[in-house]
Structure 1
Amino acid sequence: MTKIFLAGASRGVGREIAKSLITQGNHVVALLRSESARPDLEALGITVAIGDALDADAIASLVAKQPFDAIISTLGGKPTDGERADFKGNRNLIDAAVKAGVKRFILVSSIGTGDSAAALPPQALETLGAVLAEKEQAENHLTASGLTYTIIRPGGLKSEPPKGSAVLTENPNIAGSIHRADVAHLVVSALTSDRANNKILSAVDRTMLFGQPEFEDFAL
């Protein structure tokens, strides 16, 4: 049984990852900032840890409580939020992982960060600029941490059921949409793939690309 510390499981991609991890028989500890999502997660068989990702000491304590095989983070916020966890929360998780000796860290980021900025239209970059800048800081902190990492950058997120046509690529110029459940499947698959070690990958659905680009799939 693999022990996973999951941050961001209260909703969205994080919730889908939680479901997928449990289905595959993993032990999951989910970090929550409030109690609101606790009943739903515990009903799935997930252990809940209450804490604020922006509190470095609290996060270090939670991560050190038991030996985790990996940390997965989908932490993030909206441009209209106040203090976001996109950088600070993820930085605290990364530092806690290093301190506790966790070997594997998967960060769910976003197309538009780093060398994938050119994949988005200028209007999108302007709207999301502050969030993407923080996500890029988190990516850089992770790649410099010494942890074995995988960074997955999804495109525009949709909440429909999984389509099964989602792919990963190392090409940073690809953009499109993808269903949250499909992102979760890719993240969980990357968890057990040595090929994904120390890779930065964009995640899109082949049927929902912006334009008709040619690119090479990254097989896990």
Structure 2
Amino acid sequence: MKVLVVGANGQIGKQIVKQLQNNDQHTVRAMVRKEEQAEELKKNGVDAVIANLEGSKNSIVKAAKGCEAVIFTAGSGGSTGPDKTLLVDLDGAVKTIEAAEEAGAERFVMVSALQANNRENWNEKIRHYYAAKHYSDRILEASNLSYTIVRPGGLLNEEGTGKVKIAGNLDERGSVPREDVAKVVVASLTEENTFKRGFDLVSGETTVADALKNLS
């Protein structure tokens, strides 16, 4: 499967690109904002394209052409204001959903946030971020794409364990290494049990493959 990774220069995005490169089931195309980012990826043998989520939808359509799946893991980052969150995490995500449909992709995996689907459990300090995630997820659910929405807890930079806990609704707060989020995202591409559904994700005791197969 040819997979476009949107947000390929981000911390999770880099992990996803690396894992896709090492996976004989898939080929990867990385979408980034800057020429120097694309050049660095190309040096490492990655097909890279330049498009800006704040730019035209057509540039994203062009980036997605020929891809069967799209992974959205872009974000405005914690140092920007609510305006950038709306432009990247909400409108950028929606543009990418529209572009994926227009380009003929069938699969779409969204990296969201723990409990973004449940307003009662949003983090008060970053409600604008959760609102952006909530509504972009809902637009994805209403699309014609075969989607999976992965909602990870607090993101860690430590080495992944390959063991997770996932459920359609996790009441508990928790965290998870970015490497394990990437593993779940990549595995979800072909795990039919994740099609047309979303789930929360934290570290746990179950292998990624078993956790996805047993998702109920």
Q: Does 1:12 align with 2:11?
A: yes
What is the identity, as a one-letter code, of the residue corresponding to 1:99? E
**Gaps (5+ residues) in structure 1?**
208-216
1:195-206 alignment runs, 5 A limit = 195-206=193-204
CA contact (8 A) 1:7 1:32 kept: yes
**Gaps (5+ residues) in structure 2?**
206-210
Equivalent in the alignment of 1:78: 77
- Please give the per-residue CA displacement for 1:137-168, whole angstroms capped at 9, x wherever unaligned: 11011000111000000000001111222232
CA contact (8 A) 1:19 1:44 kept: no
CA contact (8 A) 1:163 1:182 kept: yes
- C-alpha separation in 2, matches of 1:9 and 1:100: 19
What root-mean-square deviation, in Å, do the aligned CA atoms of Structure 1 and Structure 2 show? Answer: 1.8
- C-alpha separation in 2, matches of 1:17 and 1:79: 20
- C-alpha separation in 2, matches of 1:200 and 1:119: 16
Partner SS, residue 153 of structure 1: strand
Percentage of identical aligned residues: 29
Partner SS, residue 21 of structure 2: helix
1:20-31 alignment runs, 5 A limit = 20-25=19-24, 26-31=26-31
Q: Return the offset for 1:118.
A: 4.1
- C-alpha separation in 1, matches of 2:160 and 2:104: 34
What is the identity, as a one-letter code, of the residue corresponding to 1:181? E
CA contact (8 A) 2:109 2:147 kept: yes
Higher percent of residues as helix: 2
What is the aligned counterpart of 2:213 among 198, 210, 219? 219
What is the identity, as a one-letter code, of the residue corresponding to 1:38? A
What is the identity, as a one-letter code, of the residue corresponding to 2:187? S
Change (3 A) 1:57 1:33: same
- C-alpha separation in 2, matches of 1:58 and 1:119: 35
Q: Return the offset for 1:172.
A: 3.9
Equivalent in the alignment of 1:111: 114
Equivalent in the alignment of 1:58: 59
- C-alpha separation in 2, matches of 1:44 and 1:132: 34
Count of matched residue pairs: 203
Moved more, 3-12 or 54-63: 54-63
Equivalent in the alignment of 1:32: 32
